[in-house]
Structure 1
Amino acid sequence: MLLKQRFEEMMNFWVPVIFGTFKLLVLGTGMFLAIKSHYDGEKKDKEKQKAQEETKAP
């Protein structure tokens, strides 16, 4: 009985820690990829616009 109670107390502490860490890792990765794709898209648009301006100029 005491062992089961001790195990439950340990799980009540570690489960939120593990899942919270996993959640932060997933959200952080998602934020990083969202920002990266935003800047990469912006860079691509600038390069495309620059190429169009070069073809327009005589």
Structure 2
Amino acid sequence: MMDLWVPLVFGLFKIGVLVAVIFLSIKSHRDGEKEEKRKKPADSMQQPSTPLMPRSLN
């Protein structure tokens, strides 16, 4: 029973790190979407002066 604490502590630490990484990755993804949403209305007002692709390729 005395040797059980080492894998238990490491296992809990591993799960804690995994939860933190998942939380931060979801938060980062959501913050990126919010930033894109915020920039999109400002970008939609500016029309490109030249087409991105030549007419022959459309």
| TM-score, normalisation: structure 2 | 0.70
Q: Please give the alpha-carbon distance, in whole angstroms, between the structure 1 residues aligned to 2:34 and 2:42.
A: 12
- Give the alignment's Cα RMSD to 1 decimal: 1.3
Give yes or no for the alignment of 1:52 onto 2:47: no
**Larger helix proportion of the pair:** 1
| TM-score, normalisation: structure 1 | 0.70
Task: List structure 1 segments (4+ residues) > 3 angstroms apart after TM superposition.
Answer: none
Structure 1: where are the runs of 5+ without partners? Answer: 1-11
Structure 2: where are the runs of 5+ without partners? Answer: 47-58
Aligned pairs, number:
46
